[in-house]
Chain A
């Protein structure tokens, strides 16, 4: 339903999106993830026809966003990050206006507006001026706007940004309900939300694609796990039991009170617990705990984004130092 191919967008000297390619299939809910300034909003603005691409192509529901912009825009409902307001219109008037603008026939408009208000949960503010509703409601009014013409594709740009936890929860529930009938591209920098809502995530950083797949699989494939071994023994003994095993990386030892705790990074796909247990037995060490901590999406995200930045910064700093 959404195809982005080698898409680049340059603003003067800044390359906001760099040869980005990904697809969103029919009925999928895809989380579009990246830190602030990663190029998410720019990509979305190209998809919605608001900005042109510098190079590459993008299509929505089979319509090229440049060559068949109107048809592409007809197929999607868009919720921008900051829902803009017309303060002099009531919520229901605003939605009727938007429905008319999107070509909903006059006879069906009333029904379309009430259905969208119902889905987004804004009936109780229907008669309020758009300028007078709270930020959470404004976000939902924006969502009702995206839904009013019942488009097959929804593009939601940071739908929960600036909301309190309760409001975020409500929006998340609305998105989950919508997932039954719509293809959704959901951008966010809040990982927990994306994990809860999306069947697949696309991670971008500095305008480039960093990962694309189901969250759990990505975490397991790309992120190192952590082995934790605690025993009533000296740190050196524990270290000797773990060193040299397949997939074991950096080791940290924490000693005190007659016991030691060892933490070691483990390469993706490896599980050294059994081997560690055997070695501990052979060494006659009474193990208190042997566990493998699975990485969280947050760690995965950190490694893909901030982590890589940090590594680059350190490399640059050491070059400068030299």
Chain B
């Protein structure tokens, strides 16, 4: 605990630590969206015709869709024609080594604490650093390549492994899936791609850091992860964004494919700019994440969501094969004027499929936190089991917690359990901690971290530490 307390203390007086802007020339397309813009994006990236057609189909589908309104979040209408759909750092020549990376960008990474060469040397984490949508540098490629693992930017994957991309792109989240996913499919700029071959256990955590940099630029990342039969991989996604006054739209899509006997663990720490105390600015985070698990495969989502003005996100599992396993562990924090509508869908199709949902929502300030989850057990999913636990923690008396669990069970041999609780950090708990020598802030962090620990222990070690820090920063000033 003492480390967590220290870090919280260190961070306590900062507002939004990552609110700086890097001065790099940006190559952006003018605002607006039409087929011409999509053709331009595709041409800039030198894409094959099949991908352009796929984008255009998505765009046409999107044009006929309406923005969803069923969620429990409120925001002014987004003008999709006022957004620029592509931005890339101008110098984007192929680089032979990290030394060739633009010094400004390097400095930015240093501020974020992810100095690439240090990571390369010390941590054993391969970083595919995404800076304003285009990958700047990728490390550890050689080690991974020796095992046949492909880990690269999405654009590179389209160029070098078109057959894999074509086969799996849209196989989990179709281009017509929902409004935001369709928009992403039409305009996605870049993202990450990983393929783990049959029977290979990826020897290191794969990690991507995302960052929105240019003003008025939407961020449309696309991630595709394929674990072939019997493969295993753990993937880390961490997000920080510089502070901006106007709202920024972020509509990402992540697709995971776990073939028979494969295991994918996908962990996210999301810390996009949440807006100021009065709800000005902040990121709109409308994300579609879904994994498909074939026979005996396992997909685990772990997320710590502390940022964004609005979060709309339901990392889901389609348990397609028999004995497939899906897991969802989530901590979502809303402070000040933040709103989150997040949860998961567990769709049981195969026999004896199992799923676990552990959701921890923390609301402070005027924050509104909604858990929305669907457990659907199909007719053929005999012997399926689900366990769901949804806990809410309230700090103060102006925030809100909401829980919408949906259960659809279509056979009689399945078991579904749902537990829910709502609690409040009590004055007496805080006084008890203070009487033992802890400051109010440390007491709150101690209690909040205790509340979240079932989720934190699912995170890789270094991420767990970062998650605790983020929680401290996010809840700063929420008590007393």
* A-B interaction: no
Interface residues of B (CB under 8 A from A): none
